[in-house]
Amino acid sequence: MHQLTLAEIARALADKQFSAEELTRSLLARIQQLDPQLNSFITVTEEQAIAQAKAADARRANGESGALLGAPIGHKDLFCTQGTRTSCGSKILDNFNSPYDATVVERLAAAGAVSLGKLNMDEFAMGSANESSFYGAVKNPWDLSRVPGGSSGGSAAAVAARLLPAATGSDTGGSIRQPAALTNLTGLKPTYGRVSRWGMIAYASSLDQGGPLARTAEDCALMLGAMAGFDPKDSTSVDQPLEDYLATLSQPLTGLRIGLPKEYFGEGLDPKIGTAVMQAVEELKKVGATVKEISLPNMQHAIPSYYVIAPAEASSNLSRFDGVRFGYRCENPADLTDLYKRSRAEGFGDEVRRRIMVGTYALSAGYYDAYYLKAQKIRRLIKNDFISAFEEVDVILGPTTPNLAWKLGEKNNDPVSAYLEDIYTITANLAGIPGISMPAGFIDGLPVGVQLLAPYFQEARLLNVAHQYQQATEWHKQAPSGF
């Protein structure tokens, strides 16, 4: 059962090949047996999952149907889940049990999905390797000595190792797409505002976006159909009609115009990854696509712009964790100032403290115009580059990451090197456009991902292209040995 995709599980449940409870118990046993190698879960909600599975079986017995009814998933541990620890991978929230469900959690539960637990992540979603979690690093199931990518590394590792067919993630600068690429999964970052952020613990509010991680584009379409939609509780949610993401998967790609940015294929890209990307282009040309070289001239400024804006917003968002209202509190504070200082110093990890410091500096009176305001102007230039490019092409294609999954601990003393792993993904967050990463081969036994970007609210087009590519290739069907 664990080898089935989400879509295959939906069909099997509908055909009564097994029950949701049988499937849930089977996967829970698998998690207990295999997850100690991976550390992909922070909390396994066994009793709740079995109760949800029984309820799903009862709904089916009463004549209900639905692709996600009884389907097992997991949630990245920044989606608030009522009555369950929601830690955001941080010591400061280790004792926080959420009093409510995030909209994403609520919508997937309403669709009948069975949540098996909360998945490990970089602390407050800050990282590219899933090594900054208070609960320890997550291991890549393709090579346990390597990182799975971050910050949704727990979600990626669990799905890649067949502990789950799909999971939720969040993407602030590539945190769905990058781990998808490093673990041979399909990961979708929707348009900013397409999926509600209400109840999703914030890192950088103008960049964060929830989305699905799964093995296929079809599975991501199933997940997105339940997750997406307007939410009046989220002031950044966009009130725009949803497409039927499944209905358009099989549309032919005849005449599809693919743009290849020349900036994606220069210095810094592993040449072997570049070759794999071009092989993917050739596959898409075989099914009717045309290819054109384009330019995104301001991409070179993306990393510095992002690493001013994101830490600045983090500095503001994380000021609420003060040891007073909820979360970790230091012992025996001398006074209120000591309470604030020690609770935050003891509760936050190194990477989070680093970004808070950088963000606070960028927002300070003497430097706001020089850093934060200038970064926002660059952000607009990057957005304009995409608007111009999409007048010439339908989608943009390139590598998801410049390198393969690196060794655990390899970049711990060089945070800038880790930041550069996001070079191809952060522009989509700065502009707010949707992006997807799909499996595109292996180099020395490690997965390679190819990224597609599209204009605003054209998730259906991305899913269609990825699905057609997956109909022509077998990369997404490969599983790590031992799992």
Active site residue 87: no
Q: CA 184 to CA 117: how far, in whole Å? A: 22
Taking the alpha carbons at both ends of the chain, their separation in whole angstroms is: 13
Is 196 marked active-site? no
**Which residues pair with residue 169 across a beta bridge?**
211
Check residue 202 and report its DSSP letter. -
* b/e sequence 394-404, b meaning 16+ C-beta within 10 Å: bbbbbbbbbbb
Q: Evaluate whether 417 touches 337 at the Cβ level (below 8 Å).
A: no
Alpha-carbon distance of 479 to 31, in angstroms, equals: 16
Q: What is the distance between the alpha carbons of residues 49 and 63, in angstroms, rounded to a whole number?
A: 21
- Do 346 and 91 touch, CB atoms closer than 8 A? yes
CA distance 110 to 225: 12
Residue 362 and residue 372 in contact, taking contact as beta carbons nearer than 8 Å: yes
- The residue annotated as part of the active site, out of 40, 76, 90, 152, is 76
CB atoms within 10 A of CB 339: 17
Q: Which of 40, 132, 170, 175 is catalytic?
A: 175
Annotated catalytic residue 175:
yes
Distance CA 32, CA 40 (A): 11
Catalytic one of 40, 151, 196, 437: 151
Q: Which residues are catalytic?
A: 76, 151, 175
